[in-house]
């Protein structure tokens, strides 16, 4: 059994964090007395600190700036229910408010509510078809939702204007891989390595794809390249054991098993029947 999961989790964790970024920079800083945006220390910056958020909103129920600040405040507090409520209130007053749609997309992504996240980013793109940040995040959400064809289509649209975005290229390669377009995935990974020869995720996933294709010597080459950069990369060691054992190089397979046993005994135990029994029979 070959394992890919480790690097997929790392990569998608990075991108999920990026998807959580809000478009606060697009909204002008409010300096009116009713502003209560958060400063770096997490305290409110309103000029009338005696008033509660509820009081401020009650006095300005249809003021979009107040409602955006309220949504942002609750968002930072991880009170997503109230954040969503106030972003939706903004949209009810201004259906083309790009910040409300964008930040809803980020919240829904955090909540893994991918259908609503997709709809929110689509609204951003409807308002501004050249909002490439929204296009990029839409592609990522499609990937999280396992809509790989739409993810590929969206990423390629984004990359026409941002061809050197390594992170997006990595997720695009994953999307092609999960869509069973392995040759296209390999092409992207190898293009990444031209500019980033030590990109471990690309090296590992090339090795993984070659394992799927049963090109064991090629897989071994790339897993060893990963280990030259990260000697304790137990996933590459695991897959080397599989590769060496498959081609009949039992001596190297056993050597990698011993290395894995020192680094990750639990994972190594998957091979214990194979190698421990062999040791007993010697």
Specify the pLDDT at position 274: 81
Closest CA to 243 of 207, 216, 209: 216
> If phi over 0 gives left and psi between -120 and 50 gives alpha, with beta otherwise, what is residue 46?
beta
Specify the pLDDT at position 26: 37
Specify the pLDDT at position 41: 29
- Taking the C-alpha atoms of residue 2 and residue 30, their distance in angstroms, rounded to an integer, is 54
Specify the pLDDT at position 8: 55
Specify the pLDDT at position 133: 96
Specify the pLDDT at position 60: 83
DSSP symbol at 2: -
Give the helix ranges, DSSP H, for 28-181: 53-59, 64-76, 80-93, 98-110, 114-127, 132-144, 148-159, 166-178
C-beta of residue 152 within 8 angstroms of C-beta of residue 135: no
Low-confidence ranges of the chain (pLDDT < 50): 5, 16-17, 24-49
């Amino acid at each position: 059994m070959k394992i890919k999961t480790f690097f997929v989790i790392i990569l998608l964790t990075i991108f999920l964090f990026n998807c959580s970024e809000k478009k606060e920079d697009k909204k002008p800083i409010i300096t009116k007395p009713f502003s209560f945006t958060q400063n770096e220390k997490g305290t409110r910056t309103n000029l009338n600190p005696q008033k509660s958020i509820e009081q401020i909103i009650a006095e300005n129920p249809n003021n979009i700036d107040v409602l955006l600040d309220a949504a942002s405040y609750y968002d930072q507090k991880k009170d997503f229910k109230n954040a969503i409520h106030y972003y939706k209130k903004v949209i009810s007053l201004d259906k083309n408010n790009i910040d409300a749609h964008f930040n809803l997309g980020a919240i829904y992504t955090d909540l893994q509510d991918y259908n609503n996240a997709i709809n929110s980013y689509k609204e951003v793109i409807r308002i501004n078809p050249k909002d490439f940040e929204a296009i990029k995040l839409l592609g990522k959400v499609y990937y999280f939702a396992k809509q790989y064809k739409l993810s590929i289509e969206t990423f390629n649209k984004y990359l026409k204007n941002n061809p050197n975005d390594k992170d997006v290229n990595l997720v695009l390669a994953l999307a092609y891989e999960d869509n069973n377009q392995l040759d296209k995935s390999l092409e992207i990974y190898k293009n990444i390595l031209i500019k980033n020869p030590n990109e471990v995720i690309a090296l590992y996933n090339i090795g993984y794809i070659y394992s799927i294709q049963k090109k064991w010597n090629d897989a071994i080459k790339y897993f060893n390249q990963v280990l030259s950069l990260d000697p304790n990369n137990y996933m590459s060691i695991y897959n080397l054991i599989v590769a060496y054992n498959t081609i009949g190089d039992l001596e190297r397979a056993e050597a990698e098993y011993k290395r894995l046993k020192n680094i990750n005994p639990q994972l190594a135990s998957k091979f214990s029947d194979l190698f421990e029994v062999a040791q007993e029979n010697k």
